[in-house]
Structure 1
């Protein structure tokens, strides 16, 4: 995290000059050129509206500007949040432990609630990966939920946290939370982050519903997972959806779409994911389910690796 008193003017000037813009073009109608000149010389700090207008005229996002201002490095908290989001694509013991180590270092230096939540979520994941102990993991997840349950609204950061502790709840409650999350994520149609979150909520809720053998209810979410995976060309998630779809359809006596698991195996063959292929053949019902008594060490490096 940057010191809020870090002068931004010299960085704005360098970016503007590199892009070939004049001070007049950047100041435009939002402020006088003389005012913008004072911003670049660090004589004044722009208001939020003027700051955003400057970045807009420079064709730059706030995130990119802060990254450049910080010598093209993420701050401590930003690094932890970035790594935490990456767990949804590649959940391994190594990545979880890396976040725990960085998070513990940060909270020793200063109080940060989001980092504390991430720490507890990752400690729960660590238990699931190392011990497959769902009950013990729920203890860490409960610490996170104590804060989340009092929030009126969930934004993207909170949704990442909720997604990571969905196993805390019974499958019906998890389904209700998933519905609420999907409604919120629909408000972020242009955010790739929201798409990843949507897929992962659908993956997690079907994990829980399959464990409870609620096959009809699971199918409702699996079909959404299939549709979203096809739309985003997320091939491994599509294959997982196909496996789960055939499992649920078979359990409910629906034989209208035979060969779905074979299609999933063909996808794994095409991606050279032989380990996943073997796991499907061995136990399709519990395939890729972090919450079952599954040999996690055999698939942890494969989880959501595209």
Structure 2
């Protein structure tokens, strides 16, 4: 792993910039030299001033500092957020083991402890042990519900555990969560698929309980999916719209999209849930 000074020097030279090019009204050239040679440790304000000149983000600087690799902690978090469903048992168990190893060798880390609990709850769900799963993630919810404004990571974590909870909690909290996502949207456009998925999951939960919430959630998800060209999310929204409105043409439209983008596994999950007699005809 490099020092911040070494990473800054590498980026600067890669861009064919001199130390004078990176200096400004705040930083003298000699200060840049001392930082690059590890004679002084830069403050966060100093680093921010430098990376603006270098046209990189803080995340990119840390990535280069770590020899173009994520840290062990960052890898665990990244793999957690890549999970598609609780049926990925092998991957879930792998991440749990990595959480165990990290937490055994590092000081208390609330986020990784929460991720470990959420994954253990996901494994319980595969055995239909919903009440045990809900009990396991309850401490996470009790901690997070006291927070007025979530960080990006907390937003993603809440989206992963929200649907373990009673309908009244979900109904009250989803609008708040959508507002939080919108606040971060200008910073991180990758939240758009998360928002669409949240709306689709909300519609799924309320399908048999509240047609108005289901309809409005699916309409919003359809718009977002079209805007970001996420055809898997669009097909999911169409399928659920067809089920909710008893419209076979929408279901057929969804099927055609799933087959065209080779997402038969998702189609199978929908068919198994709503039309189990047809699921066995899907080959994937």
Normalising by structure 2, what TM-score? 0.89
From the superposition, tell whether residues 95 and 59 of structure 1 become closer, same or farther in structure 2 (CA, over 3 Å).
same
What residue number does 1:262 align with?
A: 252
Distance 1:67 1:125, change over 3 A: same
C-alpha displacement of 1:275: 4.1
Whole-Å separation in 2 of the counterparts to 1:105 and 1:205: 34
TM superposition shift of 1:40:
1.2
Match of 1:193 in 2: 190
- 1:31-54: per-residue Cα shift (whole Å, max 9, x none)? 111111111111112221220111
Deviation of the 1:144 alpha carbon:
1.2
Give the equivalent residue in structure 2 for 1:160: 156
Give, in angstroms, the shift of residue 220 of structure 1. Answer: 1.2
Query: For residue 205 of structure 1, what is the aligned residue in structure 2?
Result: 202
Per the TM alignment, residue 8 of structure 1 is displaced from its structure 2 partner at its CA by 1.9
Q: Which has the higher contact order (CA 8 A, sep 6+)?
A: 1
Matches within 5 A, 1:144-155: 144-155=140-151
Shift of 1:281: 4.6
Aligned-residue CA RMSD (Å): 2.6
Please point out which of 103, 110, 114 is paired with 1:113. Answer: 110
CA contact (8 A) 1:52 1:62 kept: yes
Q: Pick from 80, 85, 110: which aligns with 2:81?
A: 85
The alpha-carbon deviation at position 285 of structure 1 amounts to 7.0
TM-score by length of 1: 0.83
CA distance in 1, matches of 2:123, 2:4: 40
In 2, the alpha carbon distance for the partners of 1:128 and 1:236 equals 24
Q: Supply the distance in 1 between the matched residues of 2:89 and 2:46 (Cα, whole angstroms).
A: 44
Deviation at residue 173 of structure 1 after TM alignment:
2.0
Residue 90 of structure 1: CA displacement? Answer: 9.1
Structure 1 residue 126 and structure 2 residue 123: aligned?
yes
Matches of 1:150 and 1:268, distance apart in 2: 40
1:208 offset after TM fit, Å? 1.5
Is it true that 1:178 corresponds to 2:174 in the alignment?
yes
Structure 2: segments with no counterpart, 5+ residues: none
| Gapped regions of structure 1 (runs ≥ 5) | 287-293
Q: Tell me how many residue pairs correspond in the alignment.
A: 279
Once residues 67 and 268 of structure 1 are traced to their aligned partners in structure 2, the CA distance between those partners, rounded to angstroms, is 36
8 A contact 1:55–1:61 mirrored in 2: yes
Q: For 1:89 and 1:34, how far apart are their aligned partners in 2? A: 53
SS at match of 2:149: coil
Quote how far apart the aligned CAs of 1:197 are: 2.3
Partner Cα distance (1:162, 1:97) in 2: 20
Q: 1:50 to 1:188 in 2, by over 3 A?
A: same
How big is each residue's C-alpha offset from its partner over 1:186-244, in whole Å with a ceiling of 9 and x where there is no partner?
1122313321321232122222212x432222111111111111111111111110111
